[in-house]
């Protein structure tokens, strides 16, 4: 009877480095994305994306045919966020930044990348501050990320006056604003809360009029 083989492992770091070198590298690539409002070209490899992510498996299926297909346009995701997603898919690690983590989180949710989503959520909690919290709350409400929503509301309750003065507060959607207005733990008097709500309503009205 043949004895079972033994699985042995090479060094992980050189393997990861080699795969990372393929990131946005036109050499050997067989798919080109045009991403973001800036329409930046990003090169990738269909087989790697398809085996790592069901979203890309569906997107890059047989319908594209052999050879180099026409560029795949993904205008809703910023280039930096898309490159971060690809970095995770290629190397199983990613460098996150405070200024773009919510966009990476949004892409991770939309592409069904649960592990990347959890990594982004952990990072957001670590860097959460007054300037970021309302934007994070909006993302949490939009995608039903309950724990992040609770964390953001608790942060705003503790730093209400500063949070109400941010641009992120003025840009909250009505569903994101509602749980804040219902909270009885906000550290602000009622008059100031009313003024903030009026400012939010004015910005919303201007935004709707400009559409």
State residue 75's pLDDT score.
93
State residue 12's pLDDT score.
86
State residue 56's pLDDT score.
95
Q: Mean of the per-residue pLDDT values for the chain?
A: 91
Q: Which residues contact 8 (CB under 8 A, 6 or more apart)?
A: none
- pLDDT classification of 68: cutoffs 50, 70, 90: low
d(CA 106, CA 61): 23
Mean pLDDT, to the nearest integer, of 126-139?
98
Contact in structure between 79 and 42 (CB atoms under 8 Å): yes
Contact in structure between 109 and 85 (CB atoms under 8 Å): no
Task: Tell which residue, 171, 164, 181, has the closest CA to residue 202.
Answer: 171
State residue 32's pLDDT score.
94
- Over pLDDT 90: what percentage of the chain? 81
Mean pLDDT, to the nearest integer, of 180-195?
92
State residue 66's pLDDT score.
56
pLDDT at 156 over 90: yes
Task: Tell which residue, 42, 122, 124, has the closest CA to residue 83.
Answer: 42
Sort strands 72-74 and 40-44 into parallel, antiparallel or unpaired.
unpaired
Mean pLDDT, to the nearest integer, of 73-91?
96
CA angle in degrees (0–180, nearest 5) for 123-125-131: 100
- pLDDT classification of 139: cutoffs 50, 70, 90: very high
pLDDT at 202 over 60: yes
- pLDDT classification of 1: cutoffs 50, 70, 90: low
Q: Which residues pair with 40 in a beta bridge?
A: 35
Give whole-number Cα distances, 186 to 127, 165, 180, 189, 192, in Å. Answer: 21, 14, 8, 8, 11
State residue 26's pLDDT score.
92
pTM listed for this prediction: 0.89
Mean pLDDT, to the nearest integer, of 81-95?
96
Q: Which residue has the higher pLDDT, 16 or 144?
A: 144
- pLDDT classification of 69: cutoffs 50, 70, 90: low
- Over pLDDT 70: what percentage of the chain? 92
> How big, in percent rounded to 5, are the helix, strand and coil portions of the chain?
60, 5, 35
Highest mean pLDDT among 18-27, 99-108, 201-210: 99-108
State residue 211's pLDDT score.
52
């Amino acid at each position: 009877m043949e004895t079972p083989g033994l699985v042995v492992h090479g060094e992980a770091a050189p393997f990861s480095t080699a795969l990372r070198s393929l990131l946005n590298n036109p050499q050997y690539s067989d798919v080109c994305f045009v991403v973001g409002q800036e329409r930046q070209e990003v090169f990738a490899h269909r087989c790697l994306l398809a085996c790592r992510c069901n979203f890309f498996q569906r997107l890059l299926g047989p319908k594209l045919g052999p050879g180099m297909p026409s560029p795949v346009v993904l205008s809703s995701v910023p280039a930096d966020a898309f490159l971060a997603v690809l970095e995770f898919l290629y190397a199983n690690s990613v460098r996150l930044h405070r200024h773009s983590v919510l966009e990476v989180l949004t892409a991770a949710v939309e592409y069904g990348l649960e592990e990347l989503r959890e990594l982004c959520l952990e990072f957001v909690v670590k860097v959460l501050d007054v300037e970021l919290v309302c934007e994070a709350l909006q993302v949490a409400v939009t995608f039903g990320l309950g724990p992040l929503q609770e964390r953001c509301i608790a942060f705003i309750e503790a730093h209400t006056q500063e949070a109400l003065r941010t641009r992120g507060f003025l840009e909250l959607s009505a569903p994101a604003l509602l749980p804040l207005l219902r909270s009885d733990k906000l550290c602000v008097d009622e008059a100031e809360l009313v003024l903030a709500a009026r400012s939010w309503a004015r910005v919303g009205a201007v935004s709707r009029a400009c559409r």
